[in-house]
Structure 1
């Protein structure tokens, strides 16, 4: 039985323009988990990870709206909250979808801590987008009011950015592997993991979930890494007239494109880097594709497939 780590994007769970109501979230997660259950139904052992950019930003904005005398919660606690929030949505939806399809499935949600270094350069150059989208004028006002760092999102408009240090070690990886081996569909590394330093002190940051998912996949010996997002795959010159979608690419070719700067750091860049790191370390395969076509991405019929060997023309 192959082990697959499936990474769900936070922006794919809560799409741009959505209000974020519970009904919207349940419906979007239901669509994703139906695909995941189909993959698990093929006999694969599955670990699900997820982003939390919109959700953790929502919580931070909610904290700031409290009366001045109420304490604000830290970013690491907000990440932990989203692990429970989204873990519940995903696990419950998986079991409901499995029941409707008459497939046996049991889930486990693990609060996951991930070690980072306080010397990581991201603390001097925040790059992880969280929260809502704003106009340039709104972003300027919020930056002045709260001291937030605001940048233009690759999807358009402006969002808050926070430090996103590189994941170095996943504390609960051994427990994830044990549960997977026992037949559980495990939901872990939510929001990239709760960041802690080498001395186990909490760190205010949001780790990139794709890099953390790749690290988890390598640590537990997964065979495949599948990264699901809100676009259909990896493209060169994205959004330009000469845009070219990549259906299958070797890790060497993809790394060359990465070095040429085709993939923005706040968007496709971490996904491509996560795929490169996984394929390099394991000689397995990685796929990047649309959340709505997850099963086709798994089967190699959609998205971008990254393979270890060179592709002959």
Structure 2
């Protein structure tokens, strides 16, 4: 069976945790125990998020007075691909008898995507209001509410094609576990001289769904920091959703910058393939994989 797993950046660095390497390595090690078991029996492709990590690098770059200008977001996405991919390679490789490969990945977007004018993708840490106002004034960044705090939001154009998809397919066929399109891939556009990076962060769940369809995956999992999708989220009536169809999901409303893309990602996969997709917690990975935890999105119109 071919499995695509989208591993959320917030699942690797939980709310309230310091953005140190140690807690992230702890979460990666915990995930790797289950990922390696899946990889030992199935073809596995992992797409990881990088929202907290790329936000931290952007903040450091903006504060570095030795630079004439901060590094572009796309460059920082490439950095996080290497860092988180390296962590996953080491952790999974400790208990897997087979190669684990990370590909620095480019994802093509359209230069006129309306998302460039309406940023919604959360990156970086959660700030209180005084911190948010100070950073906004200092760096001319855009912020939006995220729970009880504020986070920076950036453009998130829709992915059109992953440049390295055929390479990943070949590696999967030859028994490698592949870490691909970390952070959604480095966003690029087609220019007259070739591919050119743009200032954005692509949603990794939408890219993972695109890859799951292009690579003919049998199962698609989205792992995050919550145990399931919540109906009536943020109200006293909120409740976890167990099993649901794409049509039923389409009737519900979800935040554009967080759960919304996850819902779109699993719906598109299930509608296109008829196979199961799931959203659940990284801590429950084994049960989400078997379909006994998380939200299970099942085939049917």
Give TM-score scaled by structure 1 length.
0.92
SS of corresponding position for 1:93 = helix
Aligned twin of 2:6: 7
Preserved CA contact (<8 Å) 1:163 1:206: yes
Q: CA deviation at 1:69?
A: 4.8
Aligned twin of 2:251: 256
Q: CA deviation at 1:25?
A: 1.7
Preserved CA contact (<8 Å) 2:121 2:258: no
Preserved CA contact (<8 Å) 2:271 2:300: no
Aligned twin of 1:297: 288
- Separation in structure 1 between the aligned mates of residue 110 and residue 52 of structure 2, nearest angstrom: 24
SS of corresponding position for 1:186 = strand
1:217 pairs with 2:212 = yes
1:242 pairs with 2:204 = no
In the TM superposition, what whole-angstrom CA distance separates every residue of 1:288-311 from its partner, at most 9, and x where no partner exists? 00000101100011001111126x
- Separation in structure 1 between the aligned mates of residue 88 and residue 24 of structure 2, nearest angstrom: 10
Name whichever of 134-143 and 297-306 sits farther off: 134-143
Alignment RMSD: 1.2
Q: What are the residue-to-residue correspondences of 1:220-231 with 2, within 5 Å?
A: 220-231=215-226
Cα separation, partners in 2 of 1:179 and 1:243, compared to 1, 3 Å: same
What 5-or-longer segments of structure 2 have no aligned partner? none
Q: CA deviation at 1:105?
A: 2.9
- Separation in structure 1 between the aligned mates of residue 179 and residue 66 of structure 2, nearest angstrom: 36
Q: Which residue, out of 65, 82, 85, partners 2:83?
A: 85
- Separation in structure 1 between the aligned mates of residue 49 and residue 285 of structure 2, nearest angstrom: 16
Preserved CA contact (<8 Å) 1:38 1:295: no
SS of corresponding position for 2:255 = coil
Aligned twin of 1:167: 159
Name whichever of 176-185 and 247-256 sits farther off: 247-256
Q: Which residue, out of 110, 130, 135, partners 2:128?
A: 135
Q: CA deviation at 1:68?
A: 5.1
Aligned twin of 2:39: 40
SS of corresponding position for 1:6 = strand
Q: What are the residue-to-residue correspondences of 1:1-313 with 2, within 5 Å?
A: 2-41=1-40, 43-67=41-65, 69-96=67-94, 98=95, 103-153=96-146, 155-199=147-191, 200-257=195-252, 261=253, 263-309=254-300
Number of aligned residue pairs: 298
SS of corresponding position for 1:226 = strand
What 5-or-longer segments of structure 1 have no aligned partner? none
- Separation in structure 1 between the aligned mates of residue 61 and residue 260 of structure 2, nearest angstrom: 30
- Separation in structure 1 between the aligned mates of residue 104 and residue 232 of structure 2, nearest angstrom: 38
Preserved CA contact (<8 Å) 1:35 1:293: no
Q: CA deviation at 1:145?
A: 1.1
Q: CA deviation at 1:70?
A: 4.6
SS of corresponding position for 1:39 = helix
Preserved CA contact (<8 Å) 2:4 2:47: yes
